[in-house]
């Protein structure tokens, strides 16, 4: 009558679903960063932006905000299905904050590079 979901399957399924969400958020952030900064940056700055995107503690956000509204077990194929979700508002706010952080870090990166160039010019005199 009631469907039985083996507990041993759920833990790793939750982790896999969260990893997929994490990867998708990274792809979205890379796309948004490219749209915002792509034509205004050189290759070194683009690498810096990708580094900043990956260094954040995004998995913590995903783990803390993921819900699993649908968990189903199919007896016929002996498989458990898990649907993982993030609330749109939370995701939008998170991405907005991340893009703002990227913008600030890119500004600091550019300022540091400009000062390095000035110091190098001073050393040549």
pLDDT band at 9 (very low <50, low <70, confident <90, very high): low
Q: Give φ, ψ of 23 to 5 degrees.
A: -65, -40
Structure confidence by residue, pLDDT tens digits, 62-115:
999 998 888 887 888 877 788 889 999 999 999 999 999 888 988 898 898 888
Domain boundaries, the chain: 7-124
Q: What is the pLDDT of residue 23?
A: 92
Q: What is the pLDDT of residue 1?
A: 39
Can you say whether residue 41 is alpha, beta or left, with left for phi > 0 and alpha for psi between -120 and 50 degrees?
A: beta
- Between CA 66 and CA 68 the distance in angstroms is 7
Structure confidence by residue, pLDDT tens digits, 27-74:
998 888 888 887 777 888 888 888 888 777 888 999 999 988 888 878
């Amino acid at each position: 009558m009631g469907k039985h979901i083996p507990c041993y399957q759920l833990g790793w399924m939750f982790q896999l679903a969260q990893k997929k969400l994490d990867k998708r958020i990274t792809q979205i952030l890379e796309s948004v960063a490219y749209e915002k900064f792509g034509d205004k940056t050189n290759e070194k700055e683009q690498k810096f932006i990708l580094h900043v995107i990956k260094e954040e503690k995004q998995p913590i956000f995903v783990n803390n905000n993921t819900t699993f509204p649908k968990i189903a077990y199919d007896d016929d194929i002996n498989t458990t299905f898990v649907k993982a979700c993030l609330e749109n508002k939370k995701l939008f706010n998170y991405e907005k904050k991340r893009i703002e952080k990227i913008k600030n870090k890119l500004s600091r990166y550019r300022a540091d590079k400009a000062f390095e160039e000035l110091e190098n010019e001073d050393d040549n005199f």
